[in-house]
Structure 1
């Protein structure tokens, strides 16, 4: 072998060696990735606590012993946002904490207001949340607010009247427009509250908790349009609405898998509540966690 060929061969093997190291490192990183990680709440200890675990319901880790719920992952998976209750449950406040339960911070402190249903913007810089309360005359006010992820600059999006706000991948907000105590509709708007579009049109139906697929093309939500709460899915423009579950119990709070192929949801009876997983077409329903609810899938895209 001449010198040039030897040098070329040596460079080739060095490159192969380095590629192997990189590939090995990537495989190792993926094995540690919370791609199949979910967060959920449970009352196993008597209090509502936040847990995290995998899709099989194994290796669960309790993240907090506080009375918290409605968990939302930050885009990088390093933090949760959630609400916790104070003043004998009269005041609900939004919090964040690290996903291991450390560095817990209270972000909102509006007395006698129910701050709930937080969700992070795609860049992790903002948190949108619902605020509900009765005024001095007993009139119920469902509002949507937005703030920086550190709790600063809390601002009401005044044109949006509703609950359960959720960011789309392109930075818009899907929410449940509250008309009265008997009816609501899934709607979508710009982050400043402009260009509101109503997506569902079912009179006297309650339609809540929209969750947008990772590719931004579909919305899963819960509705009692057919008599009791079931899980439905539709395209982002409101077309192709389809019922996925058919149960005599309350099915609620759907959350998409990271690849958009599955949904987890919460099923509740008078005696217990469980978390199920199914394909996005409603097939192959399987219970994965007993005595759990309010599940959210970490969408590690």
Structure 2
């Protein structure tokens, strides 16, 4: 795990939070990415289509029937105006019939459908402040703020909103098991950044991780029996002290993350990657034995120091890593459709403006 570190530079992994990871740093400062010729063939992706156009769009996740996507965006589809922070939207797979499901206040992140498709889950800061949270001071290393998010559920029209967490600080990165029984989420409620589970009515909260450091970005396996997640655990006294100093200021400095798997009850934790890179946004392949994730492990930074985050597929035992995407500097938030026939993800390929990220959909070729 203590291998040569791969620099992340000022390219961030957090859309609004580390729960959403996507080049949040330097909004408007990341250079326009030209559609460079790929260094490899995207042989698993066919019929690629772009569903959003303009602004920052991230974390597009399928409904359990595979007919819709929930995602966060800084571009309001009704007015076509750019907003200062993310709101939550639902759209059809053709990119049409897009509408907002969040309040329009504060900032939102990490949307997810409930089984049945009548309600959605997301995190929002609107209870703490109706304005967008302030961005952390820029430093040589990317710092992400643990803003005061709570988890909410609502109907698809935004009505009947229910607040599911009420503890101070960060509660976000929530996803739901396919069997509809459990929610896994990230919280600072016990003084560290850990994973928790709860029933879908918000009761029965259980802490799943206890290692010092960041644990988050969790998703269930297709059979709901296991959880895949990303983690960054300090390895030296110096790293531990730096982590605690930042956490005391509600900050975290993500850099080197590895992918882990555990049982849904928190037992049998196993580290899958050990490459010293920034590995995040893991999601189970529909066969339940492989994991797709985003990482800068395969491509060195370019002449300007910009890392290249691409999608990769790896076996659950850590073997057989295969690069999936090759175009653009940022590809992340992959999710397979429930039937395994499609892949949704976010990319800066074909961008026309600085800081633009869009939702893409492709047919998956085994």
Q: Check whether TM > 0.5.
A: yes
| 8 Å CA contact retained: 1:75, 1:300 | no
The answer to whether the Cα contact below 8 Å between 1:264 and 1:276 also exists between their aligned partners in 2 is yes
Matching residue within 83, 96, 113 for 1:120: 113
Q: Is 1:66–1:84's contact at 8 Å kept on the other side of the alignment?
A: no
Partner of 1:191: 200
What aligned pairs does 1:131-150 form with structure 2 within 5 A after superposition?
A: 131-132=124-125, 135=129, 140-150=147-157
Tell me, in whole angstroms, the C-alpha distance in 2 between the residues paired with 1:98 and 1:60: 16
Equivalent position of 1:31 in the other structure = none
| Number of the residue aligned with 1:216 | 224
Aligned length: 252
| Inter-CA distance 157–45: structure 2 relative to 1 (3 Å threshold) | same
Structure 1 residues 73 and 45 mapped into 2: Cα distance closer, same or farther (>3 Å)?
A: farther
Distance in structure 1 (CA, Å) of the matches to 2:83 and 2:277 = 26
Q: Which of 68, 74, 77 matches 1:85?
A: 74
Shift, 1:147, TM fit: 0.8
How far 1:226 sits from its partner (Å)?
A: 5.2
Could you tell me how far 1:84 is from its partner in structure 2? 0.4
C-alpha distance in 2, partners of 1:257/1:44? 32
Distance 1:219 1:187, change over 3 A: same
Alignment CA distance shift 1:66-1:74 (3 Å): farther
Q: 2:149–2:172: 8 Å Cα contact kept in structure 1? A: yes
Q: Give the CA deviation at 1:122.
A: 1.7
Q: Which is strand-richer, 1 or 2?
A: 1
Does the C-alpha gap of structure 1 residues 226 and 158 become closer, same or farther in structure 2, counting only changes over 3 Å?
Answer: closer
Q: For 1:126 and 1:281, how far apart are their aligned partners in 2?
A: 35
How big is the shift at 1:284?
A: 0.7
Distance 1:101 1:254, change over 3 A: same
Q: 1:55 Cα deviation (Å)?
A: 7.5
Give distance in 2, aligned partners of 1:191 and 1:44: 41
**Range with greater deviation from structure 2 (80-89 or 238-247):** 80-89
- Structure 1 or 2, whichever has the larger Rg, is 1
CA distance in 2 between counterparts of 1:55 and 1:101 reads: 24
Deviations 1:81-120 (A, max 9, x none): 0000158653311001111111111222332x22111111
Q: Please show how residues 143-162 of structure 1 align to structure 2 within 5 Å.
A: 143-159=150-166, 162=171
Show the counterpart of 2:94. 100
1:237 corresponds in structure 2 to: 265
* Residue 209 of structure 1: how far off its partner (Å): 0.8
Q: What is the distance in 2 between the residues matched to 1:216 and 1:101?
A: 29
Q: Which has the higher contact order (CA 8 A, sep 6+)?
A: 2
Q: Aligned-pair distance for 1:285? A: 0.6
- 2:196 equivalent to 1:168: no
CA displacement 1:238-294 (0-9 Å, x = unmatched): 111011011222100111122212110011474211000111222111000123111
1:72 and 1:289 map into 2 onto residues whose CA distance is 18
Structure 2: unaligned runs, 5 residues or longer: 1-21, 24-29, 35-41, 76-80, 135-145, 236-255, 341-366
Taking structure 1 as reference, are residues 104 and 194 closer, same or farther at Cα in structure 2, changes over 3 Å only? same
TM-score, scaled to structure 1: 0.75
Of 56, 62, 65, the residue aligned with 1:73 is 62
Q: Is the 2:103–2:158 Cα contact (8 Å) retained in structure 1?
A: no
> What is aligned with 2:315?
279
Q: Is the aligned partner of 1:110 residue 2:119?
A: no
TM-score, with structure 2 as normaliser = 0.62
Superposition pairs for residues 44-83 of structure 1, below 5 Å? 56-67=44-55, 68-83=57-72
The match for 1:257 among 263, 279, 285 is 285
**Equivalent residue for 2:214, pick from 195, 198, 206:** 206
